[in-house]
Amino acid sequence: MSDTQLELIKKLNDKTATIGVVGLGYVGLPLCLRYAEVGYTVLGFDIDPSKIETLNSGRSYFSHYGHERVTAAREQGFSATTDFARASEADALILCVPTPLDEHRDPDLSYVTRTMDSLLPYLRPGQVVSLESTTYPGTTEEELRPRIESTGQVIGQTLFLVYSPEREDPGNPNFSTRSIPKVVGGSCPACLEVGEALYEQVIDQVVPVSSTQVAEMTKLLENIHRAVNIGLVNEMKVVADKMGIDIFEVIDAAATKPFGFVPYYPGPGLGGHCIPIDPFYLTWKAKEVGVNTRFIELAGEVNRAMPEYVVGKVAAALNDHSKAVRGSAILVLGVAYKPNINDMRESPSAEILQRLADLGANVDYADPFVPQFPSMRDYDIHLASVELTPASVAAYDCVVLATDHEAFDYDMILEHAPVIVDTRGRFRGGSEKVIKA
């Protein structure tokens, strides 16, 4: 073990290391808060000045992380900046930047590579760089390592490189950054030892693996597992509906089996940054080695078809009431991609709203976590959340439950809505005004 490695591990273990987190979104911010919570000096980096201003004033921009946690982190020495030159102050640099798909549904690593290029002038001996962004196997070795080595650093001797996939689940009350086990792979054995030291002070269980490629594939398997099973149950939903069977009742009954079955529930489509996107990182990489991932791609086709299926259900429901979609007033309940948070990433609600508007409907939405519909690249939606009252609900021709926030008064909605298209199985009483989608 080199002196550089020993010194870095000592600083990580005794919490005298400065932790730099690059990208202060749904992954980076909770990581900052956790490191600050246990006593590290934490420096957050982001290119968005509004985020920096908000955090440095002791406030949070996420509904599921209260202002008090940011204030407490600030009191522990946490600060945020847009100045990447300050990366030289950090002993650890953890990259938590987006990895979206481009217009051809191919991996877009530009956020990762641009971020790494921005940091290169400020790297110094005795640092560890950890990539947490979800990506295809080989990214750390093929994209980050050559860039770092171009500065003269020697991986495993002067600077240490690891990959540790994020596993955040925003809004989940049962799991936190601390309690979710952390998979870590290093570019070499020395890198892995440093990576374990980086995370074991803040995460209850660190799971070391033999390489960065294994860690990268682990994250993809987790998300592909969910995407494929959700695709299966979404297809089963369509079949069950044609047969007049309630798929939610079927799933609940199947879930009583104590072995061999894991319940997944259908919905209006896939949302969030991970499940709709990550499988295609593997399908793209698999083609490089001559493998056609038909199973994964089929699940993606099924899941991507769900918003259109919901719109078809809306049209059928209105038709049963002698109304057309064009000119009808339609309210979509919930535009966040999952309950009880304000995360809009890849939300199927956006596509449902846009499709209905394109068909000539007068659309509105209600979401207590998203007061103003954000600007989104693929959608032309300029709306603010409406207040739910008996009178306002009754004024719509159709109400579509897209995201089942706990804050909604479902009894009131059921009583006053003329017709409800339920994509989440929330209305289970058998009312004639409820259409399952």
pLDDT in tens, 6-28: 999 999 999 999 999 999 999 99
Predicted pLDDT of residue 266:
96
pLDDT band at 335 (very low <50, low <70, confident <90, very high): very high
Pair 340, 171: CB distance under 8 Å = yes
> Among 32, 96, 191, 274, which one carries the catalytic annotation?
274
Predicted pLDDT of residue 254:
97
CATH class of 220-302: mainly alpha
pLDDT band at 373 (very low <50, low <70, confident <90, very high): very high
Predicted pLDDT of residue 353:
97
pLDDT band at 275 (very low <50, low <70, confident <90, very high): confident
Q: Which CATH code is given to the segment(s) 306-436? A: 3.40.50.720
| Predicted confidence (pLDDT) at residue 64 exceeds the cutoff of 80 | no
| Predicted confidence (pLDDT) at residue 104 exceeds the cutoff of 90 | no
Compute the distance between CA of residue 122 and CA of residue 210 in angstroms, rounded to an integer. Answer: 29
Predicted pLDDT of residue 171:
78
Question: Structure tokens of 203?
Answer: 């995460």
Q: Average pLDDT in the 32-46 region? A: 97
| Predicted confidence (pLDDT) at residue 173 exceeds the cutoff of 90 | no
Task: Tell me how far CA of residue 296 lies from CA of 55, 100, 229, 286, 291, in angstroms.
Answer: 39, 17, 10, 11, 12
| Predicted confidence (pLDDT) at residue 378 exceeds the cutoff of 90 | no
Q: Average pLDDT in the 167-191 region? A: 92
Percent of the chain with pLDDT over 70: 100
Q: Average pLDDT in the 89-112 region? A: 93
Predicted pLDDT of residue 208:
98
Predicted pLDDT of residue 422:
97
Predicted pLDDT of residue 377:
81
Q: Average pLDDT in the 336-340 region? A: 94
Percent of the chain with pLDDT over 90: 86
Q: Average pLDDT in the 369-383 region? A: 92
pLDDT band at 167 (very low <50, low <70, confident <90, very high): very high
Predicted pLDDT of residue 238:
97
Question: Structure tokens of 196?
Answer: 């374990």
| Predicted confidence (pLDDT) at residue 384 exceeds the cutoff of 80 | yes
The domain spans of the chain are: 3-210, 220-302, 306-436
Q: Average pLDDT in the 201-214 region? A: 98
Predicted pLDDT of residue 112:
97
Residues 6+ apart with CB under 8 A from 420: 398, 399, 400, 401, 413, 414, 427, 431, 433, 434, 435
Predicted pLDDT of residue 429:
81
| Predicted confidence (pLDDT) at residue 63 exceeds the cutoff of 80 | no
Helix axes 348-358, 306-320, angle to 10 degrees: 50
**pLDDT-wise least confident of 64-68, 92-96, 150-154:** 64-68
Q: Average pLDDT in the 276-295 region? A: 90
Predicted pLDDT of residue 273:
75
Predicted pLDDT of residue 35:
97
Longest distance between any two alpha carbons in the chain, whole Å? 78
Predicted pLDDT of residue 168:
84
Question: Structure tokens of 343?
Answer: 């995360």
Q: Average pLDDT in the 430-436 region? A: 92
Compute the distance between CA of residue 282 and CA of residue 96 in angstroms, rounded to an integer. Answer: 19
| Model pTM above 0.85 | yes
| Predicted confidence (pLDDT) at residue 396 exceeds the cutoff of 80 | yes
| Predicted confidence (pLDDT) at residue 105 exceeds the cutoff of 90 | no
Indicate if 96 belongs to the active site.
no
Question: Structure tokens of 222?
Answer: 């987790």
Pair 435, 255: CB distance under 8 Å = no
Which homologous superfamily does the CATH classification assign to the domain defined by 3-210? NAD(P)-binding Rossmann-like Domain (3.40.50.720)
Say which amino acid occupies 90: A
| Predicted confidence (pLDDT) at residue 351 exceeds the cutoff of 90 | yes
Question: Structure tokens of 244?
Answer: 């007049």
Do 3-210 and 306-436 have matching folds?
A: yes
**pLDDT-wise least confident of 24-38, 188-202, 263-277, 323-337:** 263-277
| Predicted confidence (pLDDT) at residue 365 exceeds the cutoff of 80 | yes
Query: What single DSSP character describes residue 249?
Result: H
E-strand stretches of 54-187? 79-81, 92-95, 127-131, 159-163, 182-186
Residues 326, 332, 338, 344: what is their CA dihedral angle, to the nearest 10 degrees? 70
Per the prediction, the chain carries an average pLDDT of 95
